Amino acid sequence: MQIILRQFGDCNIRRAEPSDLIPVMEINLKTLPEHYSDYFYESLLAEIPEAFIIAEIGEKHVGYIMCKTEYGFSNFKKLGFVKKGHVVSIAVLDEYRKKGIGKALVEESVNGVKLKNCDEFYLEVRCSNNDAVRLYEKLGFMIRQQLNAYYRDGEDAYLMAIELN
């Protein structure tokens, strides 16, 4: 059964299912230079379906966010060891951007990682990706670190994070 999280206009935001993975991979191929194996998508869906979310208009997949969880040092507290949600990838097809879909995907993934009792949520974003950095800042994420040459092409990333409790 499909779990619809929210609807606005003609757009449904819902949890992904195995049959959504091929369309998600197609959006990823069209929108981002970082790609993953089929197995990786499947494993994220199995690990944390609460934060693997898609946006759909009619029958068309227009966006997705997928996350994982991990334990590690806090991005906020000195010496704190915490459970963290981690955005692996988010994208909205070009022609459907600036309608609030990206914001809805991030907000619902925040709810998803909270259900997994994560203390913090973080992501990496290209320093040049102003649209994404602005979106995350509006949602309360803060730049906590600059990661030198994080991407294969040598570009730096910002590590942005939010405390959930």
Site for ligand COA, rule CB under 6 A: 31-32, 90-92, 97-103, 123, 125, 129, 131-132, 134-135, 138
Closest contact distance (angstroms) between CB of 103 and ligand COA is 3
Amino acid, res. 47 = E
Residue with Cβ nearer ligand COA (78 or 98): 98
C-beta closer to ligand COA: residue 85 or 102:
102
Tell me the closest approach of the beta carbon of residue 10 to ligand COA, in angstroms: 13
Strand order in the sheet with 11-15: 4-8, 11-15, 53-57, 60-73, 81-92, 120-126, 157-163, 142-147
CB nearer ligand COA, residue 27 or residue 118? 27
Q: Is the CB of residue 161 less than 8 Å from the CB of residue 75? A: yes
The C-alpha atoms of residue 88 and residue 108 are separated, in whole angstroms, by 15
Do 82 and 120 contact (CB within 8 A), yes or no?
yes
**CB nearer to ligand COA: pick between 117 and 149:** 149
Least distance in angstroms from the C-beta of 149 to ligand COA: 16
